[in-house]
Amino acid sequence: MSSRSSDAAITPSAIPAEAKQALLAALGPGSCLDRPEDLALYEYDGSIDKARPDLVLFPRTTEEVSAIVRITAEHNIPIVGRGAGTGLSGGSIPRAGGVIIGFSRMNQIVEIDLPNERAIVQPGVVNLDITLAVQGSGYFYAPDPSSQRACTIGGNVAENSGGPHTLAYGVTTNHILGLEFVLPDGTVHWTGGKASDLPGLDLLGLLTGSEGTLVLVTKIIVRLMRAPEKVKTLLAVYNSPSDCADTVAEITACAITPVAVEMLDGEMLRMVEMATHAGYPMDAAAVLLIELEGLTEQVEAQAAEIEQVCLRCGAREFRIAKTAAERELLWKGRKNAFGAVGRVSPSYYVQDGVVPRTQVAPTLRFIAGVAQKYDLRISNIFHAGDGNLHPIIPFNLHVPEEIERARAAGEEILNYCISVGGSITGEHGVGMEKNEFMPRLFSAATLDYIGRFKALFDPAGRLNPGKVLPTGQGCLEIRQAPLTKRTEI
């Protein structure tokens, strides 16, 4: 955002010839990209910032990751882990140049242990592939980001990813039992394991969501869940976004926790319907997509009660998906929402704030005012059940002034989220997009403690530098550890 004036202080670091030769020897042929045209593919993720690496490496084993880390440590070269590059906060962008470690070749499901409802996977395994590997036996992996057909488990661990169905099931940290990781000195360690509630400090909780700034994860033990007996998908259609938003709090007041409650406003649902023909009404102001899971009798009773709540809150129509195909089509519309926006505007800015459920309707009204103020077309898609909003702001990439208006609009929205007791991120992470917002959410003392944890794991500041913590400005200046002798972040 416009507050990123400190970015200019971060200078890319070239790779010494000696270091490059050692890295190539450690990984073997075909494991490196260094041509400018190839490096350009790794200078961005799903956010709107860019920074180019000096080298991209593709290890296949934990030992090779360890070798990369040791060699780069000898030359004080920054390193950034990268999965599929689907992140939305600049988390895998090499802000200080250096080496990207691409985990795409570490993509094996190492072990499936159904009796204990566990699996061990490498970080490059695609999220959905875990479910596909076990669904024939009646199991699934619960966290389901909208990008689950592309995003990888390593990236999910780094960002503590969520998704529509985490309202009831929880986010990634609730489904991770163990991690193998490499420290910045190249040593390999494990924390957690197949057993639950192991003694000791909760390093799993600390590392999950640390955005690649503390360690590089090389294996993950994930929790598998049994598929429910009954699934029912509901669609409530509204003429008023406020009525739609107010319904969410009313459902919660009835002591019903669906596995998913998703909200699309009229602007968004029209783009989705034109792209996917999922069955959303083109003239609606908003819809709620609700999913229930559990025992058949319980699901049927909850569906009937939710229908009454929706109609009482002003829904003009209430549907229940009659077939699996109809259910899958409704979810296809929701999960392909960002792609649908891309058909209308190739460039757009996705925000990720959180507000209390009771503040969803006021937040929608505030966003509408921001859109009018900056003359922008903002559409909204929410994980409404937990107040995680995703305003989507299209802009023309070739008009710098328009980009700045989009950034300014996003900044106002995040400030509003903070003002009503919310947060600057629900699942996309802080990355380099929101690190200058951290002093607005946390005190200087708290940021200092976070910085101490970073320094404890990564004293040289080589792991994903320039992320999460503010890079330093104003009276709340917090500086990260020096990256090189000539560059301070």
- pLDDT tens digits, residue range 372-388? 999 999 999 999 999 99
Residue-level pLDDT at 117: 97
The fold for domain 230-338 equals: Alpha-Beta Plaits (3.30.70)
Cα torsion angle, 331, 139, 299, 247, sign? negative
189-195 long-range Cβ contacts below 8 angstroms, 24+ apart: 192/221, 193/221, 194/113, 194/116, 194/118, 194/221
CATH number of the 5-102 domain: 3.30.43.10
Q: What is the 3-state secondary structure (H, E, C) of 23-70?
A: HHHHHCCCCEECCHHHHHHHCCCCCCCCCCCCEEECCCCHHHHHHHHH
Residue-level pLDDT at 152: 98
The fold for domain 109-226 equals: 3.30.465
Strands 55-57 and 32-33: antiparallel
Average pLDDT estimate for 238-266: 95
d(CA 454, CA 230): 44
Q: What percent of the chain stands above pLDDT 90?
A: 87
Average pLDDT estimate for 445-451: 95
Residue-level pLDDT at 428: 95
Within its chain, how far is the Cα of 222 from the centroid?
Answer: 18
Look over the chain and give the mean of its residue pLDDT values, rounded to a whole number: 92
pLDDT tens for each residue of 203-250: 999 999 999 999 999 999 999 999 999 999 999 999 999 999 999 999
pLDDT at 15 over 70: yes
Residue-level pLDDT at 421: 96
Average pLDDT estimate for 120-126: 98
d(CA 179, CA 192): 6
pLDDT tens for each residue of 21-73: 999 999 999 999 999 999 999 999 999 899 999 999 999 999 999 999 999 99
- Secondary-structure class of domain 345-419 per CATH: alpha beta
- Determine whether 183 is exposed, middle or buried from the number of CB atoms within 10 Å of its CB (0-12, 13-18, 19+): middle
Q: What percent of the chain stands above pLDDT 70?
A: 94
Domain ranges of the chain: 5-102, 109-226, 230-338, 345-419, 435-476
Is 109-226 in the same CATH topology as 5-102? no
| DSSP type of residue 15 | P
pLDDT at 8 over 90: no
Q: Which residue has the tokens 């699942």?
A: 427
